[in-house]
Structure 1
Amino acid sequence: MGAPLHSYTVELTEDQARALERYCREHGFEFREVPYARFGAFGRDVNVVCYRSGKAVVQGRGTREFVQYVLEPEILKEARLGYELELQPELKLPRVGIDESGKGDLFGPLCVAAVYVNESVVRAWQESGIRDSKRVGSEAAVRELARQIRSTPGCAWEVVVIGNAAYNRCWREMGNVNRLLAWGHARALENLLERGDRLEPFPVRVISDQFASDPRLLDQARMRRGRSLELVQRHRAESDPAVAGASLLAREAFLDRLGRMSRRWGVQLPRGAGPEARAALRELVQRHGPQVCAEVAKLHFRTVAEVLAELGHAVPETGGATGGGARREAREQAGGEPDLFGRAGGDGGG
């Protein structure tokens, strides 16, 4: 029957989406509202969510059976499961995917991962469940998938962590989150390509989500080695296994650092930037003073100024390097700070 499959994503036409909804209604699925979804249908051992974009996600222990006996023969009218590489030959190309974690979180660093894959790596991942970290429901699942990525022969990776102090100084120098993000992507890519003898065959392209309205931002940030690759920026880039792998390693690194910071400062630091984060920031300032914000938070978030004003404080100065020094400091940190695995990067064969 094949290895366990707990999640499957497919793009549907309008007619296919209507047919899938009709099938679920006729077969006793419970319908519930799901944000941004055309419909959400929930069965005993499989759930189906069809988004307005046309993407459909099948999840649950009955995923494989639903895909093989319902989705493929009745909706898609073709067999795809297990044939992704044959249907999309570009997935066989050696390439690097880049993604980040922490950009929208008040607390914690900005973590950027670059992951190299080739045909053998993608084949090994075909039914592993490796997917965009935003679609993984628990920290334990993120860590398990990240472990699978690191243990895959032929895979190589690099994780760049820009801690909050360096992040705040870089943001002050650059004045724009997307510029800082472009630099982080370029740095992770360059660090990975520096280990070219472990990338076989050598990558021909790098794929990233289009995070800035001006796609030239990342192109201009690329460094010497990175400029040798074709750059592909697109929305929903995490549909590519290389980018999905990068999203998981970046998220794992972020979760690890956030946990360390929570233990160090004695306050549980939540993800995101909502009410829980606001309450945690207030507690931190009351315990440790306003300067703690520069060590644990992203100072340009409006919440920082609001909470500090409520407590009678000003936003602390970031201090330190300016005029290019902040980027040099971050570059040294990115190249020298070991990641979670005890080194700046890795490969499955090592």
Structure 2
Amino acid sequence: MHFLLRRLLCRSKDFFSPGSASVGRGSSPIAPPTPRPSTFSFSLLPVQIEALRERLRQKGFEMRALEHGLFEGRGPSVIVRAYRSRKVLIQGSGAADFVEMFLEPEILREARMGYEEALDPAECLPHAGSDECGKGDFFGPLIVAATYVDPEIAPVLRQLGVRDSKEVKSDLRAIRLSEEIRKAVRGLYSVVVLGPAKYNELYCRFGNLNRLLAWAHATALAELLRKIPSCPRALVDQFAKTPVLERALERQGLSLPVEQRPRAESDIAVAAASLLARGEFLRRLALLGKEAGMTLPKGASSPVLKAAREMVRRQGSERLRTLVKVHFRTFAQAAGEVGLPLSQPEVAGGSTATSATPSSCAPPSRGYDGVDEVKT
């Protein structure tokens, strides 16, 4: 790790010194330098966050209270926000210099930026990643996306600021990032879209959410491999016991080695897939809301139940079925008021789900191979 020490020593120049930022970055009269990222996210220890707060005060940053967070520090070219989750978000035209010349040498005590490949070389090697969005949302579709990365694609995704979609708080930014990712991976992605009608049909056929998810992930990976047959492996954010996905992959005829890992969104390919899935979910949810004549909220909380009841009041329970995942308990709570048959709670399904029963399932129209769209 001696190269990291050398890197830190090279970064010892004070970011806060006049004229230190964005100077001598290898610019050339022949070609301008590559644009540097303007957004960074780090997970810090509590003691590091307190050290950061104190150093920002000492350096004259304007310190403010942060709603749902710890603090916000504003400098001339950078904004630093620290959250209770221990995440620190750094944004602005001087963000890259701030990270390189101050945060890493003084707070983190390690060099990360620009050495991602050295710190995690496997992330840059050719592989695929898949993730889903919408499984916890009452309204809207289920989306599963898969993306491919290699040593050329991975750095471009990093430059875009690709990270786990849960860390991207703005829906608008998530949509924009998803559009940039499609370009960055040069078309090497697939998106499986299960609208509410097809989702409800397949849920009844599979009788289990994890088996449905496994089928969708296997389908997305199979579609991606048709574009890049040389892909050597894949990584999936783990959602069930390992054999569940393995059986689905076998049914697709895939011999691709697939690793299932909790919190796999830290991998660049899975993070890109996560953002692709979220962007597509948000677009589809907005279209459904436009068709329904009302805004459809995300999640499965009390505002969602309120919107579902309003939909039943306006357009009836059968219209609600076309917009939602009917095995959620929210459907029973909203539609039960007009006398619809209710399904029984599923023991392992948590507080939002109910099991599929003959009374809650419409007759299936096709087999497992039907999806609203496999977007490639």
What's the TM-score once normalised by structure 2's chain length? Answer: 0.77
How far apart, CA to CA, are the structure 2 residues paired with 1:49 and 1:235? 25
**What amino acid does structure 2 have at the position aligned with 1:204?**
P
Cα RMSD, aligned residues only: 2.7
- Kept in 2, the 8 Å contact 1:186–1:226? The answer is no
Q: How does 1:152-163 map to 2 (within 5 A)?
A: 152=184, 154=186, 156-163=188-195
How far apart, CA to CA, are the structure 2 residues paired with 1:209 and 1:153? 19
- Partner SS state of residue 105, structure 1: coil
**Residue matched to 2:261:** 234
Q: Deviations over 1:71-106 (max 9, x none)?
A: 111123343212211222112211111011111111
How far apart, CA to CA, are the structure 2 residues paired with 1:4 and 1:172? 48
Change (3 A) 1:297 1:151: same
Q: How does 1:128-147 map to 2 (within 5 A)?
A: 128-147=160-179
**Residue matched to 2:306:** 279
How far apart, CA to CA, are the structure 2 residues paired with 1:225 and 1:118? 24
Q: CA deviation at 1:160?
A: 0.3
- Kept in 2, the 8 Å contact 1:121–1:155? The answer is no
- Kept in 2, the 8 Å contact 1:115–1:157? The answer is yes
- Kept in 2, the 8 Å contact 1:34–1:40? The answer is no
How far apart, CA to CA, are the structure 2 residues paired with 1:116 and 1:184? 17
1:332 to 339, 352, 370: 370
- Partner SS state of residue 152, structure 2: helix
- Partner SS state of residue 216, structure 1: helix
1:319 to 355, 362, 368: 362
Change (3 A) 1:13 1:309: closer
**Residue matched to 2:231:** 203
- Partner SS state of residue 151, structure 1: helix
Q: CA deviation at 1:48?
A: 3.6
Q: Deviations over 1:212-254 (max 9, x none)?
A: 2x23322222146774332222222111111111111111211
- Kept in 2, the 8 Å contact 1:116–1:155? The answer is no
Structure index of larger Rg: 2
How far apart, CA to CA, are the structure 1 residues paired with 2:207 and 2:215? 13
**Residue matched to 1:304:** 331
Q: CA deviation at 1:127?
A: 1.8
Q: CA deviation at 1:17?
A: 5.3
How far apart, CA to CA, are the structure 2 residues paired with 1:50 and 1:262? 32
How far apart, CA to CA, are the structure 2 residues paired with 1:163 and 1:217? 23
1:47 to 69, 73, 80: 80
- Kept in 2, the 8 Å contact 1:267–1:283? The answer is no
Q: Structure 2, unaligned stretches of length 5 or more?
A: 1-21, 23-33, 343-358
Q: CA deviation at 1:25?
A: 5.8
**What amino acid does structure 1 have at the position aligned with 2:331?**
V
Q: Structure 1, unaligned stretches of length 5 or more?
A: 339-343, 346-350
- Kept in 1, the 8 Å contact 2:238–2:260? The answer is yes
**Residue matched to 1:109:** 141
**Residue matched to 1:218:** 245
**What amino acid does structure 2 have at the position aligned with 1:318?**
C
Aligned residues: 324
Change (3 A) 1:33 1:182: same
Bigger drift between 262-271 and 110-119 goes to 262-271
Q: Which structure carries more relative contact order (alpha carbon 8 Å, separation 6+)? A: 1
- Partner SS state of residue 207, structure 1: strand
Change (3 A) 1:150 1:216: same
**What amino acid does structure 1 have at the position aligned with 2:245?**
L
Q: CA deviation at 1:314?
A: 3.2
How far apart, CA to CA, are the structure 2 residues paired with 1:174 and 1:238? 26
How far apart, CA to CA, are the structure 1 residues paired with 2:44 and 2:115? 17
Change (3 A) 1:226 1:144: farther
